[in-house]
Amino acid sequence: MAPSTGKKPKNTEVSGIGKLYLLAYNGIQTVGWSYLLWQTLVHFLNRGTLDTFWNEIKWTVIIFQNAAVLEIINAAIGLVPSGILVVIMQVFSRVFLVCCSLLVTHSATVSPGLPLCILAWSITEIVRYSYYGLNIMKAVPQPLMFLRNNW
């Protein structure tokens, strides 16, 4: 018997309930990250400052970045074909940044790097989660496929 690699076999099909859960999860994450991008754009278009930015977006960032912890569970139970160790590193690096830097230090929340980070995260996550959700339904449009594979 071959040792387990921690990945789901490629020919294993996810159940209907699993697909529904993944569709809901990816849809909610897409909406959440879209809302965060909207908050960011509106804040600065309305002449918001770095001093007030974190208070404007704090709860959206905390909720949707920490919700990604579910991706570890999804990989651990084989609901998605991702390797568990890679997912743990990806998720916890961001959770660590939010919970151990932004929530603890004032200087991080007023840094000019914060809006840039939020913009990069938002755009990337909108593309990623919408791709995953539409891929479950086998309905990924070519422009989204291009963005997902080349961005």
Closest CA to 69 of 100, 47, 93: 93
CA 91 from centroid of its chain's CA atoms = 8
> pTM (2 decimals)?
0.88
Residue 66 lies in a domain: yes
Average pLDDT over residues 140-145: 97
The total number of structural domains that make up the chain: 1
Residue 11 lies in a domain: no
Residue 47 lies in a domain: yes
- Sign of CA pseudo-dihedral 99, 101, 106, 111: negative
User: Taking the CB of residue 68, how many other CB atoms lie within 10 A of it?
Assistant: 19
Residue 2 lies in a domain: no
Mean pLDDT of the chain: 93
Residue 3 lies in a domain: no
Domain ranges, residue 30: 16-150
Average pLDDT over residues 53-77: 97
Residue 5 lies in a domain: no
Residue 35 sits at the vertex; the CA angle it makes with 81 and 54, to the nearest 5 degrees, is 105
Q: Is 60 exceeded by the pLDDT of residue 117?
A: yes
* pLDDT (0 to 100) of residue 51: 97
Residue 101 lies in a domain: yes
Residue 9 lies in a domain: no
* pLDDT (0 to 100) of residue 10: 52
